[in-house]
Amino acid sequence: MNGDDLLFKGLKVLDVGTWIAAPVATTMLADYGADVIKIELPGVGDAYRIYSGLPSTPASPHNYCWLMDARNKRSLSLNLKTAEGMAILHQLIEGCDIYVTNQPLALRRSLKLMYDDVHSINPRVIYASLTAYGEEGPEQDREGFDLVAYWSRSGLMDLVREIGAAPASALPGMGDHPTAVTMYANIVTALLKRERTGEGSFVHTSLLANGLWSVSCVAQAALLGADFTPFKNPVSGGFQRSVYLTADGRYLHFAMIRTVEEFDLLLLALEATELLADPRFATPELRYANGALFIEALRPYPLKLNAAEWMARFREMGIPAALMARVTDLAVDPQVLANHMIREAPAEFGTGPIIDHPLNVEGLARVPMAPPPALGQHSREILADLGFDETAIADLAARGVI
């Protein structure tokens, strides 16, 4: 690969953020050649560095979340509470193209790192801001993770549950990772605008906005005063909305069974055609009206075989049934592998495969995957590029500025 082929070669990006949603947008830019400098507090760094080692996470010798999300960057440890640290950041801002941050707005105001402040230093900068709840309004200064701002506040948490069940928490990063794609889309749109106009931009999104977008097919109905009585009953939409246990403890679902022909084939495969003789289930309309009863009548049949046996039978008969996957299946999933949704990490990672982001532009060169940086790994290198000599760098380190 020729470095000149990289789309974002020469693009300078400052990652002044923590955790996932904002920083991962810069990881995507780095994959296509941008020079990303991650600004981190000396001695502490991004708290996401230690997430994979917390007691509540899957145990592994690898820092799997950090390896996946923080690759291909340089790390500068910089204390922004010192005058010297702020002066260095301002110097970096002068030469950067993109400034990405999810610092709380109150902190940005105190540090004078709001858009107007950064724009006054570099009018061509693209300032990409992530907040929990939006740039304006009574909760603009409120902090929040995706579990709260994306999942709970948007209404997703309330809706994704069975009748009578308590709401469930979101998985880690479930809202952060798609929000990072929105951040990336904002940034590349602003880059095109700058190419055409020469002007920088203030772009922003929030966890709440992305949660609302995710729940929008239902939330839009609420905005227009729709009747939610049928939606509140998850079985009222038919047997396709339920899942069915197999003999080996796996779950099948039949959401893609959409025609009378497919339905008849499914019952034939399950050896459950006698259900059609039941007057409660004789027509699609009756099965819909008696949805809960039909689901319970259907449940014993999938228990007769293991999931693999059912899926083989369904494939042979052309029935579009699905097996609910487990994350432990993904490493050998032929569809995942064929579409390069997982990339093999280079040897220096010391791991196995790494999940890739969902961007795909055919023919667009990418940099080789490089491991995430150690905290402050590139501080001296970056400061030397800014004109600091070894004596000055050593002094900054001794005084805790870097």
For the chain, domains (ranges, CATH) are 3-216+372-398 (3.40.50.10540), 239-329 (3.30.1540.10)
**Residue 107 pLDDT:** 96
Reported confidence tier of residue 239, pLDDT bands at 50, 70, 90: confident
Tell me how many helices (H) and strands (E) the chain has: 17, 11
Q: What is the dihedral of CA 78, 80, 86, 91, to 10 degrees?
A: 40
Reported confidence tier of residue 3, pLDDT bands at 50, 70, 90: low
* CA distances in angstroms from 164 to 22, 161, 233, listed in the order given: 36, 8, 10
Is the pLDDT at 352 greater than 90? The verdict is no
Tokens of 143: 């902090």
32-52 pLDDT tens trace: 999 999 999 999 999 999 999
In angstroms, the CA 53 to CA 170 distance is: 19
Q: Under the phi-then-psi rule, with left for phi > 0, alpha for psi from -120 to 50, and beta for the rest, what region is 22?
A: alpha
53-73 pLDDT tens trace: 999 899 999 999 999 999 999
Name residue, tokens 């004596």.
391
Q: E strand or H helix at 39, and its extent?
A: strand 35-40
Residue 292: Cβ-neighbour burial (10 angstroms; 0-12, 13-18, 19+) = middle
Reported confidence tier of residue 379, pLDDT bands at 50, 70, 90: very high
77-112 pLDDT tens trace: 999 999 999 999 999 999 999 999 999 999 999 999
Residue 267: Cβ-neighbour burial (10 angstroms; 0-12, 13-18, 19+) = middle
Name residue, tokens 């899957």.
58
In angstroms, the CA 274 to CA 277 distance is: 5
Structure letter (DSSP) for residue 56: T
Is the pLDDT at 13 greater than 90? The verdict is yes
Question: Mean pLDDT over residues 374-387, rounded?
Answer: 96
| Nearby residues of 303 by Cβ (< 8 Å), 6 or more positions away | 245, 246, 247
290-312 pLDDT tens trace: 888 999 999 999 999 999 999 99
**Residue 7 pLDDT:** 95
Q: Which amino acid is at 383?
A: L
Is the pLDDT at 341 greater than 90? The verdict is yes
**Residue 238 pLDDT:** 74
**Residue 228 pLDDT:** 85
DSSP string for 269-289: HHT-GGGGGSTTSSSHHHHHH
153-211 pLDDT tens trace: 999 999 888 778 899 899 999 999 999 999 999 999 999 999 999 999 999 999 999 99
Is the pLDDT at 401 greater than 60? The verdict is yes
**Residue 125 pLDDT:** 98
Phi, psi of 10 (to 5 degrees): 90, -10
Q: How far is C-alpha 48 from the chain's CA centre? A: 14
**Residue 159 pLDDT:** 87
**Residue 233 pLDDT:** 57
Question: Mean pLDDT over residues 216-241, rounded?
Answer: 81
CB 89 within 8 A of CB 80: yes
